[in-house]
Amino acid sequence: MSLFCNSIDTLYPKPSLPHKSHFFPLSDTKLRNLSFAGFPHLRIKSCLKSASSSEIDMVRNKEGVFAPKEKKVVVLWDLDNKPPRGPPFEAATELRRVAEHLGRVVEISAYANRHAFIHLPHWVVEERRSRRSLDFAERKGEVVPEEPYVCGVCGRKCRTNLDLKKHFKQLHERERQKKVNRMRSLKGKKRQKFKERYVSGNEKYNEAARRLLTPKVGYGLEAELRRAGVYVKTVEDKPQAADWAVKRQIQHSMTRGIDWLVLVSDDKDFSDMLRKAREADLGTVVVSDRDGVLGRQADLWVPWMGVENGEIGEKDLVPEKRRRFDDEEVEEEEGDGLFSLAYDEDEREEMRVESDGFGRFSVSAFSENEGDFALSDSDDDSDDELSF
């Protein structure tokens, strides 16, 4: 019978499975080659990551492939407290660019009352005043432009800026009004298609109108922010109405799986909300003029002037505590995955590596000056003498 079994084993050998060790991948030869005679002062630091720190959320994308979960970012802008100091479209675009370094921007909302949209900042007043004085000088012939003004819609050349405005209003603005009236007479899908083709989709006219026509009220803050993809919410004309709207949105963001919250404000009344957001494991970034009370409650503070000027990059968006954690992970990756050695001139430690013969090793360290690892008899005696 045994001969029959041996013949079967010879004909059909069992597949050999590779043995996976769950311990340190160190061999005896590597341990013998390690020499610690030249390192009299050593401190051993474990570089093995825990299971909780190494877990990565994986989600299935459109192609059916699992990939790391993308971070979600929400931007809340308090326009009453922090209006743009320059062109609103450029400021909103730079703010979005900075927020995209943290992850995928799912929402950018701006809150203000109607006074923020009808108010004319100082830079707008000065710009309009200088443009008006230049137009009068060109009409009188005191200033001659080096190049003629070109219409952005039809390409016609005009001698002065006033002539270009007159041409635009008499020709293109009238044609635009006819198309709008035609759109209003349509209904359903026909109206939507006509609007997308002749009204909303006419980017040449929209660009020329922003440059030549002056808004009747304000300076086009709401329209420029909407053009940049910002959801603009006009709140009631009550004290702290915009603050309450922002606080409600922060609470909503804490319950919808948002990873990063970017708050553009200098109002210190948001300190409690930021503290609650951090307690809910929500990353917070404050964009303001100064690093005050509100900035200290957040994970990261970014200057508003730097955001508007495009001076903030991805390297500037690493909080101090997160940067410290990242440095520790980099130190772990630079090693061989076993342990790292650090020098200490004040302490002298001895390291002992033992093997049990089955591929498992134990590393122990003892210090001559500290008694944290072992308790001697003298220590027991001293404790007895101090006890009453």
Residue 342 reports pLDDT greater than 50: no
156 vs 349: which has the higher pLDDT: 156
| 11 part of a folded domain | no
pLDDT in tens, 250-299: 999 888 888 899 999 988 889 889 889 888 888 899 999 888 888 888 88
Which residue bears the tokens 């949105």? 249
| 1 part of a folded domain | no
Residue 384 reports pLDDT greater than 70: no
Boundaries of domain holding 83:
66-118+226-319
CA distance 270 to 261: 13
Lay out the sheet containing 104-112: strands in order across.
Answer: 231-234, 104-112, 72-78, 260-264, 283-288, 300-303
Closest CA to 232 of 78, 341, 124, 382: 78
CA distance 291 to 297: 10
Structure tokens at 347: 């302490």
| 154 part of a folded domain | yes
User: How many structural domains is the chain composed of?
Assistant: 3
Same domain, 237 and 96: yes
Q: Are 372 and 77 in contact (CB under 8 A)?
A: no
The single-letter DSSP state of residue 18 is: P
| 53 part of a folded domain | no
| 166 part of a folded domain | yes
Q: Are 100 and 285 in contact (CB under 8 A)?
A: no
Same domain, 347 and 297: no
| 355 part of a folded domain | yes
pLDDT, residue 95, reads 94
Residue 341 reports pLDDT greater than 60: no
Rounded to two decimals, what is the model's pTM?
Answer: 0.64
Residue 7 reports pLDDT greater than 70: no
Same domain, 173 and 235: no
pLDDT in tens, 110-128: 999 999 999 999 999 999 9
